[in-house]
Amino acid sequence: MGWLWGSSSSSSSSSSPPQDTLDPSLRDFLEKEAPTGPKPALPSRPVERPVEKAAARADAQSTPPEAPAKEAVPPESQFQDGRYAHLWKGYQPQHQLEEQGKSEQDRLRDIVDAYNDRKADIGRIAMENCALEYLQQFECFRKPSWTQASTMCRTESRVFNRCYDVQSKFLKALGYMTMDARSPEESEKIQMHADKLYQEMLEQEKLIDKAKEEGKPIPKFESVLSKQNVVRAVSGKAPAAPSALGQIIRDDEEEQVWKNIKPESRKSYEQKLAGLRPEDREFERKALLGELKAQTGMVKAVEEAFIEERINRMKRRETGQSTIGDTIKRLWGWD
């Protein structure tokens, strides 16, 4: 490396400038190739005023950082942060695909089946709420005592049958049979509300029987299915506002339900209600209204399905795609 830095004696000299320590041939080359002319001046740093500096700092603190836009993903995706969103662009849920492939007859069948399923669920859920009463009846029949054998378990059977009947009516009154779409969690809440109201009714009956035995004045209670009691059973505290879930039919809705019933049928229902005990008449009436409202909703859904089917049939006829069934219905005067 002597040709680059020269001799060691010259490199050890601390008083000579650095360019003198270079090799003479290299120093001549650098002097010839070095650019000539004035050196460009560097731009001076702008002086920031105190007011502008404080305003810029305040804006930076007040403006939140913009979050990157996330593409929407369906709830079926495991990554809700937007990952793999491009894979879900053309996704359709299974129930939508099944609905698109159904005919008009299939949709009508689904409406009727849904109503029948809700009606059957009333008995199943009432059985679940009366599981303890049913177990007592079962044990009585399996291993009865002398007293129970002599009465054929009449007391246990009466308790279970009343629980089953009243729980079924409470479920109807709370709108379990309606055709409104709801999740399994919401259906379970209505089931719990019905059981709470039944337990409250039993407590009221115990207090009334105790007052009769002690010769005290019989306490007066409001109806178990009153608006205040239903809200209290739903919320677990004093009524503050009506709940949208598990609500009984309001007074303004009651007359609307009766308008959809034939006068002869309404008169028959009112006669049956008049023959009941006063303490049973209220929840019997609410249960009847809940069942009639569910029936009216089912009939309305069927009518809408018929209208939609007729419109689709007319569209197929206009485009020349009528089927044999469309022709038969038109000849029978369905149009």
CA distance 38 to 24: 26
CA distance 286 to 303: 26
pLDDT, position 126: 94
Answer with the residue of higher pLDDT: 265 or 234.
Answer: 265
pLDDT confidence band for 30 (50 / 70 / 90): low
- Average of pLDDT values for 188-200? 90
- Average of pLDDT values for 55-71? 56
DSSP code, position 4: H
String of DSSP letters for 104-162: HHHHHHHHHHHHHHHHHHHHHHHHHHTHHHHHHHHHHHHS--HHHHHHTTHHHHHHHHH
pTM of the model: 0.64
In tens, the pLDDT along 252-276 reads: 777 888 888 888 888 888 888 888 8
pLDDT, position 94: 78
CA terminus-to-terminus distance, the chain: 107
pLDDT, position 279: 75
pLDDT, position 311: 82
* b (16+ CB within 10 A) / e for 121-145: ebeebbbebbeebbebbeebeeeee
pLDDT of 137 over the 90 cut? yes
pLDDT of 147 over the 70 cut? yes
